């Protein structure tokens, strides 16, 4: 397996994290990939992946990556967006993401403070943004002001959802998340080694 590589496409202002399997060429032939490679490849289907830089125009429009548009299905041709609960950015996705949050809300009793908070933050803050003929969406003015989105933004795929960040804010966030990942993985591996050795961490 080749490592994840980041590169910039100057024609599309695109930063892509490229995932490839198999030999050094990054291409998979029918005769040289095993079942595990196929399983991993199929596991990528239906996920928002990679990181893209886009520039807002004067009307707050951005082009949604074609890879993301192809994954979104629902009763209208567009995406749902709302203020992220976990970070200072916009969170978005398709009907599957909406259904996931709605299911989470409905697990809680009516009037539960957490349910009310989720309803206010997610359902109350949600906007349906339709694609135009160029594959663009127009970000709501309120969300742009809330998160300081005025020029270059970053669209980050997170599997079943994506986030839209101010470019500079995302650089700081990504650095912090890498540190969280490093620390968390080190702790998890230490616990696994202790468990194999029969020692309670």
Bridge-based pairing state of the strands 162-166 and 90-93:
antiparallel
Q: Where are the domains of the chain?
A: 46-196
Q: What is the DSSP string of 29-98?
A: -TTT--HHHHHHHHHTTT-B-SEEEEE--TTSEEEPPHHHHTT--SSSSEEEEEE-SSSSSEEEE-HHHH
Q: Give the pLDDT confidence of 135-172 residue by residue, as tens digits.
A: 899 999 999 999 999 999 999 998 889 999 999 999 99
- The DSSP 8-state label assigned to residue 196 in this structure reads H
CB 64 within 8 A of CB 176: no
Q: Residue 47 CB: number of other CB atoms within 10 A? A: 14
Report the pLDDT value the prediction gives residue 32, as an integer from 0 to 100.
Answer: 40
Whole-model pTM? 0.70
Name which of 119, 45, 123, 120 is nearest 80 in CA terms.
123
Q: Give the pLDDT confidence of 121-137 residue by residue, as tens digits.
A: 999 999 999 888 888 99
Q: What is the CATH number of domain 46-196?
A: 3.40.1550.20
């Amino acid at each position: 397996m080749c490592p994840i590589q980041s590169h910039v496409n100057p024609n599309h202002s695109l930063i892509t994290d490229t995932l490839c399997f198999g030999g050094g060429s990054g291409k998979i032939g029918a005769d040289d990939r095993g079942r595990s490679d196929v399983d991993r490849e199929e596991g990528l289907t239906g996920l928002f992946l990679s990181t893209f830089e886009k520039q807002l125009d004067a009307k707050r429009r951005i082009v949604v990556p074609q890879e993301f548009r192809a994954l979104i299905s629902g009763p209208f041709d567009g995406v749902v967006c709302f203020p992220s609960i976990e970070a200072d950015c916009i969170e978005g996705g398709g009907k599957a993401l909406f259904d996931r949050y709605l299911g989470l809300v409905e697990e809680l009793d009516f009037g539960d403070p957490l349910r009310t908070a989720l309803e206010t933050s997610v359902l109350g803050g949600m906007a349906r943004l339709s694609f135009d003929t160029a594959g663009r969406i127009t970000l709501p003015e309120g969300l742009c002001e809330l998160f300081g989105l005025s020029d270059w933004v970053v669209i980050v795929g997170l599997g079943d959802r994506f986030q839209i960040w101010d470019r500079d804010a995302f650089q700081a966030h990504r650095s912090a998340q890498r540190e969280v990942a490093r620390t968390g993985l080190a702790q998890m591996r230490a616990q696994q080694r202790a468990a194999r050795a029969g020692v309670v961490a």
